[in-house]
């Protein structure tokens, strides 16, 4: 039976990889896509989600979400993804618009009305999810787990201490982590092990299909800033680690622990804190990815891109 998921995202190049993998897999049923600010503003991320889905031939509905954090000032990642968030001219403009219903109301309605539990896959700031949980706490019972990209067990990327997604809205992330819902975290410590090197990019091109060519181009565009800023051999494919884990969890090694987020101002604002020994007395509800089999990840990615046009 296919896993029923809702994707909450801020497309974004690596979000586009995530959506392509989910659309291509027969083991996943995407119920809806909700968008948030993050890599760029929500108007751009919503348009990008529609662009990617239309280009993939998917009619999954898209619901626009919030455009700012609960309390903190807005940051973005246009320096990585381009001003539009998805500098991919091969992917044209969408032929449809977002649904009239807001992302938060869609989440509350869909989860509250579901007879089965649904998995949430989050690849941007967690503001939509946090507000939905605050508006209707009972929906937590309908969420199987939240698989999210964010945080880090070591250093940050948008500040010395914090990873971008959680730095965008640490308070929202803390609400989600305090909800008691099982979570699976893919932080920088593991996503930086999944680098689209020139060898992997050439394997995408060698697929010989449209998807292989376009995603190879996107990976090369994304790689420029990683080489300049971090000295990496290619781009880190952060967000698709979430879907890869849903489809093939043995690609990753995880460890269950308590995770919290620093919400006080200062150098560590937005940093994730990992209680591996249970010293804080809070329940350990988060599986934290520690290690990735990069070759296994790219084998899965390529097998799914190969199923697309």
Q: What is the pLDDT of residue 253?
A: 98
Report the alpha-carbon angle 294-300-301, nearest 5.
Answer: 85
Say yes or no to pLDDT of 77 above 80: no
Say yes or no to pLDDT of 76 above 80: no
**Is the domain defined by 3-305 classed in CATH 3.60.110.10?**
no
Say yes or no to pLDDT of 80 above 90: no
Confidence of residue 86 (pLDDT cuts 50, 70, 90): confident
**Which of 51-55, 74-78, 217-221, 288-292 shows the lowest per-residue confidence on average (mean pLDDT)?**
74-78
Q: Give the residue extent of every domain in the chain.
A: 3-305
How many Å apart are CA 147 and CA 220, to the nearest integer?
A: 26
Q: Choose, from 10, 169, 217, 239, the residue flagged as catalytic.
A: 10
Closest CA to 141 of 181, 104, 170: 181
Report the alpha-carbon angle 48-50-55, nearest 5.
Answer: 95
SS3 165: helix
Q: What is the mean pLDDT of residues 154-167?
A: 94
Confidence of residue 83 (pLDDT cuts 50, 70, 90): confident
Q: What is the pLDDT of residue 59?
A: 98
Q: What is the DSSP string of 53-114?
A: HHHHT----EEE--SS-SSSPP---HHHH-TTS---TTS---SS---SS-HHHHHHHHHHH-
Q: What is the pLDDT of residue 82?
A: 75
For residues 242 and 231, the answer to whether their CB atoms sit within 8 Å is no
Q: What is the mean pLDDT of residues 134-143?
A: 98
For the question of residue 10 being annotated catalytic, the response is yes
Confidence of residue 78 (pLDDT cuts 50, 70, 90): confident
Q: What is the pLDDT of residue 195?
A: 97
pTM of the complete model beyond 0.95: yes
Average pLDDT over the chain reads 96
């Amino acid at each position: 039976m296919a896993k029923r998921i809702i994707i909450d995202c801020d497309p974004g190049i690596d979000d586009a990889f995530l959506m392509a993998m989910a659309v291509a897999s027969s083991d996943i049923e995407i119920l809806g896509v909700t968008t948030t600010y993050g890599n760029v503003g929500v108007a751009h991320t919503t348009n990008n989600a529609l662009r990617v889905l239309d280009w993939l031939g998917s009619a999954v509905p898209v619901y626009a979400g919030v455009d700012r954090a609960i309390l903190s000032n807005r940051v973005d990642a246009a320096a990585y993804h381009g001003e539009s968030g998805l500098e991919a001219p091969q992917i044209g403009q969408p032929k449809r618009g977002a649904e009239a219903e807001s992302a938060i109301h869609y989440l509350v309605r869909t989860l509250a009305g579901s007879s089965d539990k649904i998995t949430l896959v989050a690849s941007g700031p967690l503001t939509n999810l946090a507000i939905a949980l605050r508006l209707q706490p009972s929906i937590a019972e309908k969420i199987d787990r939240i698989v999210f990209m964010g945080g880090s067990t070591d250093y940050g990327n948008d500040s010395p201490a914090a990873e971008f997604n959680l730095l965008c809205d640490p308070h929202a992330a803390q609400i989600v982590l305090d909800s008691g819902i099982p979570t699976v975290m893919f932080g920088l410590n593991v996503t930086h092990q999944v680098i689209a090197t020139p060898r992997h990019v050439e394997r995408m091109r060698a697929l010989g299909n449209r998807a292989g060519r376009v995603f190879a181009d996107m990976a090369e565009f994304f790689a420029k800033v990683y080489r300049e800023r971090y000295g990496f051999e290619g781009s880190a494919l952060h967000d698709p680690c979430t879907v890869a884990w849903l489809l093939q969890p043995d690609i990753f090694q995880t460890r269950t622990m308590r995770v919290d987020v620093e919400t006080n101002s200062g150098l560590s604002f937005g940093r994730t804190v990992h209680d591996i020994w249970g010293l804080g007395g809070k329940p350990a509800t988060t599986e934290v990815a520690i290690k990735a089999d990069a070759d296994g990840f790219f084998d899965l990615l390529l097998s799914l891109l190969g199923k697309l046009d």
